[in-house]
């Protein structure tokens, strides 16, 4: 009876898995959970079968418990389901990416302005950069704060890296704020701050993309 159940469970998996191809993001999560449930049923049946034979072997002092180890495929699948992004998080990330690109462009713009001899207006581009960085930082916080407890646990290493690069952006943004309080503004100092911010924002965006990829979010 056990062997018959194992064949039936495997047959169900074979009939369901092909239908996963082509599913949109709105139904993908549901299919993840269906396949996971089938995998767990198959694993449970294997445990029952192995446990019976392991028990008879145990009476001979073999020491076999009959408990199967979890394969790497199942472990990886569980992790995928655990960290999978919701539709709302996908939308949030697209907005975050746009904010990051805008901030990086503002940093480049300020560097170009400060390179001109006798640039008449430094405060405008510098303030524009500061505001763009603030927007990007708010979007980054909103995205990370949307994580569920399961996502927090599964993405711990990547979020730690993102927090580190986020700290570098915050530090350079604070230096820019402090310089904007001075009159007159120093073109060379602003150019240096803009370059540092562009570099920090680039590192932060790379960490964001790594996090999004792990969550199954396309960067395109």
The CATH number for 206's domain is 1.20.120.230
185 shares a domain with 108: yes
pLDDT of residue 188: 94
Q: Answer yes or no: do 118 and 204 share one domain.
A: yes
Quick: pLDDT tens for 44-73. Answer: 544 444 444 444 444 444 444 555 566 777
Q: What is the pLDDT along the chain (220 residues), one digit of tens a residue?
A: 434 443 343 444 444 344 444 445 555 565 656 655 565 545 554 444 444 444 444 444 444 455 556 677 778 788 989 999 999 999 999 999 999 999 999 999 999 999 986 767 899 999 999 999 999 999 999 999 999 999 999 999 999 999 999 999 999 999 999 999 998 999 999 999 999 999 999 999 999 999 999 999 987 6
Whole-number pLDDT of residue 34: 67
Q: Which of 62, 83, 104 is the last residue of a domain?
A: 83
Residues 108 and 205 in one domain: yes
Claim to verify: residue 199 and residue 158 sit in the same structural domain: yes
Judgement on whether residues 109 and 72 belong to the same structural domain of the protein: no
Per-residue burial over 104-138, b = 16 or more CB atoms within 10 Å of its CB, e = otherwise: bebbebbbebbeeeeeeebeebbeebbebbebbbe
> Is residue 190 a part of any domain in this protein?
yes
At 24 the pLDDT is 52
| CB contact at 8 A, 208 and 96 | yes
User: Containing domain of residue 45, as a range?
Assistant: 2-83
pLDDT of res. 16: 39
Whether residue 17 is contained in a domain is answered as yes
Residue 189 and residue 104 in one domain: yes
Cis-peptide into 184, omega within 30 deg: yes
The per-residue pLDDT of the chain, averaged, comes to: 80
Whether 73 is in a domain gets the answer yes
Q: Domain for residue 220, yes or no?
A: no
**Residue 181 and residue 199 share a domain:** yes
Extract the tokens encoding 103. Answer: 């901030």
Which residue in 91, 34, 31 sits closest to 215, CA to CA? 91
Q: Is residue 71 part of a domain?
A: yes
Domain assignment present for residue 23? The answer is: yes
The predicted pLDDT at position 147 comes to 97
Please check whether residue 219 lies inside any domain of the structure: no
Is the domain of 118 the same as that of 157?
yes
Question: Is residue 79 located within the same domain as residue 91?
Answer: no
If one counts the domains in the chain, the total is 2
Q: In angstroms, rounded to a whole number, what is the distance separating the alpha carbons of residues 151 and 164?
A: 19
Contact 158, 211 (CB under 8 A): yes
- Determine the pLDDT at residue 66: 53
Residues sharing a CB contact under 8 Å with residue 145, sequence separation 6 or more, in sequence order? none
Q: Are residues 136 and 198 in the same domain?
A: yes
In this structure, the answer to whether residues 142 and 158 fall within a common structural domain is yes
Does 10 reside within a domain?
yes
Please say which residue of 28, 56, 83 terminates a domain: 83
Q: Which of 83, 101, 127 is the last residue of a domain?
A: 83
Residues 108 and 207 in one domain: yes
């Amino acid at each position: 009876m056990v062997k018959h159940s194992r064949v039936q469970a495997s047959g169900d998996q074979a009939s369901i898995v092909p239908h996963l191809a082509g599913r949109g993001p709105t139904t993908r999560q549901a299919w993840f959970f269906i396949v996971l449930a089938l995998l767990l049923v198959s694993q449970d049946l294997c445990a029952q079968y192995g446990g019976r034979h392991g028990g008879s072997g145990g009476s001979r002092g073999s020491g076999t418990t009959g408990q199967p180890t979890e394969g790497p495929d199942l472990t990886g699948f569980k992790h995928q389901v655990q960290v999978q992004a919701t539709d709302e998080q996908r939308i949030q990330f697209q907005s975050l990416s746009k904010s990051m690109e805008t901030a990086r462009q503002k940093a480049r713009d300020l560097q170009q302005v400060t390179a001109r001899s006798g640039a008449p207006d430094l405060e405008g581009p510098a303030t524009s950069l500061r505001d763009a960085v603030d927007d990007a930082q708010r979007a980054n916080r909103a995205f990370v704060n949307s994580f569920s407890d399961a996502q927090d646990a599964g993405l711990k290493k990547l979020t730690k890296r993102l927090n580190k690069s986020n700290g570098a952006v915050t530090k350079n943004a604070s230096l820019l704020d402090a310089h904007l309080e001075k009159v007159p503004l120093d073109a060379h100092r602003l150019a240096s701050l803009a370059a540092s911010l562009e570099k920090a924002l680039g590192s932060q965006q790379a960490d964001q993309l790594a996090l999004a990829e792990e969550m199954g979010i396309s960067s395109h």
